[in-house]
Amino acid sequence: MSEAQVEAQQHPIAIYFWVWGLLFVLSTMSYMVDYLQFQGLLRWSLIIIFMFLKAGFIVAVFMHLYYERLALACALLIPIGALLVLIGLMSFEAGNTNMTRDIYLDGGSGILVMEEGTIH
């Protein structure tokens, strides 16, 4: 087997049509979340679920990552974990900024109020 044959990504065209259709359905569903004005936790969880499903199908099938060696997939997916740390730290930091603005910015009480079980 020549190197070129080994490295070519050959898949039946049907799988691309399937994923294409699936992405259409998922996009329509995420648009419906807004159109039907779902709010709160339902809205956020649906948006995130549809987002990751779409991203997963694009990366796995269109970008052929599912068919590549695990070594390549690891090199690409593991560093993404650092982003989760960044997002976690920054949301914590942003919450803190929001709290200090609520307290000290114009109209704020200037007094830190601790409610039972929660910190605002």
Minimum Å gap between C-beta 16 and another protein is: 5
CB of 91 to another protein, least distance (A): 6
One-character DSSP codes across 81-103:
HHHHHHHHHHHHHHHHHHHHHHH
4 class by beta-carbon count within 10 Å (0-12 exposed, 13-18 middle, 19+ buried): exposed
Contact residues: another protein, CB under 8 A:
3-4, 6-11, 13, 16-17, 19-20, 23-24, 27, 30-31, 33-35, 37, 43-44, 47-48, 50-51, 54-55, 58-59, 61-64, 68-72, 74-76, 79-80, 83, 86-87, 90-91, 93-95, 97-98, 101-102, 105
Which CB, 83 or 114, lies closer to another protein?
83
Here the tokens at position 44 are 């956020």
CA distance 73 to 103: 46
